[in-house]
Amino acid sequence: MTLPIFSFIFAMWVLIIIGGGLMVVFVGPLTFSGDNDLNPIINSGAKVLIAMILIFIWVFSLLKIKNWIFRKITNS
Amino acid sequence: MEELIIPAIIAIVVAFFSVYGLTPIVIRALEKRNITVVDVNKKEKTMIARPGGLSIIVGIEASLIILYVFFPISEILAVILTTFFAFLVGLIDDKKTMGGWFKPLALAFCAAPILLLGAYDSNLDFPLFGSVKIPLLYIALVVFMIPIMGNTINSIDVLNGVASGFTTIASFALSICLFILQNYEIGIVCLCLAFSSLAFYKFHKFPSRIFPGDSGAITFGAAYGAIAIIGQVEVIAAVAILPAIINSFLFLSSVKKIVEHREIKNPVIHTDDWKLKASPEKKAPVTLVRLLIAKKPLSEKQIGIEIFKLATFSGILAIITAFMMGVSL
């Protein structure tokens, strides 16, 4: 019975590692040039925006997995 | 390393035995003043002392103050202050039920000592891939971490022994991770939390003699969150409490708003033999417990054991993640 929940936890863990990898490999090195004084703010702001999009994708994926698990439980 | 052993043993002994010794006194004091609540999952409708946050905070604070005397570092002071402020927020919520937004907002302010003492590093470490520097985003993470952890542990405080047992398993797993990463001082801080929650579990386990209440559950969560930040193990700490995060996630995705948990419909009902089964009510929120009993009714004790199995699995994943921190692709 708890097997689907163990799978859900495992899926979350994999998504955390993949999401972390995307943050480090792609988002971390990004630089956005603008006025020198504003550079750190522009950079951080852009990274925040990308991080938010990643979190949205993460939550969306989890919702899909959750629905799949529910279907599996109700069908079994 | 050797110089840490004596302070660690003293702090751990204080953490465990102060909670172990004080909790029966708190139980008697609460029962004498009739500060009790009905255990809704017992057929006999037993009255249980609540809240037990006082003994938890004394155990955590006393042990951390001892550690601070040995190692006067700002990180330990930050955990001491953050945990204490979070306890006060929980205590207010125990005395007077506040709105759904009160706790997240008030707990966000509890993160102030971490920020003001500079007890954080703005690098966020991920397994396999290294770290990313996010100065502004990290400040937001610190502010959000305490309310999220506090409410996450509070949201699983629904059955006898679950909040304290879950915190014990997660804290021991996080301590092991901190030792793997050679962050020994913070590892000892985390052990103090683990032993405090273990001592409280003795009285909170099925059948409970005391409930932690918001003051206890939020104290556990805030201390755990603060340790995750100062120990730079935010991702590992999140992995170790994934079942509780799932519970919050399921709840929020079904209720679709932040509400005080006492305001919502009970997601479980009782069978004739007083087992718990999923409520057929469509408006009842989806929770981890409801998911566990979706197929067949289980007793309160059985559900607790299932949750501890999930917590142990997450703890193992957290330890694997800690090992992966040392590996770079």
Tell whether B288 lies on the interface with A, counting CB pairs under 8 A: yes
* A47, A69, A73 member nearest B137 (Cβ): A47
pLDDT range class, residue B103, cuts 50, 70, 90? confident
| Domain limits, chain B | 2-255+302-325
Q: Rounded to whole angstroms, how far apart are CA atoms B271 and B299?
A: 10
pLDDT over threshold 70, residue B233? yes
CB neighbourhood size of A5 (10 A): 21
Give residues with Cβ within 8 angstroms of B63, minimum separation 6.
B11, B12, B14, B15, B18, B192, B195, B196
Query: Residue B26 has what pLDDT?
Result: 97
Residue A35 pLDDT greater than 60, yes or no: no
Q: Which of B317, B319, B324, B329 to mutate to test the interface with A (most CBs of A within 10 A)?
A: B317
Show the tokens assigned to B26. Answer: 């708190």
* Token couple for B194: 């683990």
Q: What is the pLDDT of residues B297-306, one digit of tens each?
A: 999 999 999 9
Compute the distance between CA of residue A38 and CA of residue B299 in angstroms, rounded to an integer: 59
Inform me whether the C-beta atom of residue A3 falls under 8 Å from chain B C-beta atoms.
Answer: no
Q: In the prediction, which pLDDT does B131 show?
A: 87
- B168-202: buried (b, 16+ CB within 10 Å) or exposed (e) per residue? bbbbbbbbbbbbbbebbbbbbbbbbbbbbbbbbbe
Chain A nearest CA to B185, separation (Å): 26
- Amino acid present at B113: P
Model-level ipTM above the cut of 0.90:
no
Domain-wise residue ranges, chain A? 3-75
The string of pLDDT tens digits covering residues A37-59 is 566 777 777 777 887 888 888 88
Nearest CA in chain B to A26: B132
Which residues from chain A sit within 8 angstroms of residue B294, using beta carbons?
Answer: 73-74
pLDDT over 90 at A21, yes or no = no
In terms of Cα–Cα distance, which of B139, B117, B122 is closest to B68?
B117
Put simply, the answer to whether B136 touches A45 (Cβ < 8 Å) is yes
B135 touching A (Cβ < 8 Å): yes
What is the torsional sign of CA B13, B151, A16, A62? positive
Bigger pLDDT: B102 or B181? B181
Using one digit for the tens of pLDDT, what is the confidence trace for B53-66? 999 999 999 999 99
> For residue A10, which residues of chain B lie inside 8 Å, CB to CB?
317
* pLDDT reported for residue B257: 67
**Which of residues 138 through 157 in chain B touch A, CB cutoff 8 A?**
140
Instruction: Tell me which residue of B141, B145, B140, B136 sits closest to B104, measured CA to CA.
Output: B145
> Over pLDDT 70: what percentage of chain B?
95
- B131: chain A residues, CB-CB within 8 Å: 24
CB B137 to CB A2 under 8 A?
Answer: no
**A76/B contact by beta carbon, under 8 A:** yes
The reported pTM is 0.92
Q: Which residue of A has its CA nearest to B313?
A: A6
Query: Over 70: is that where the pLDDT of A36 sits?
Result: no
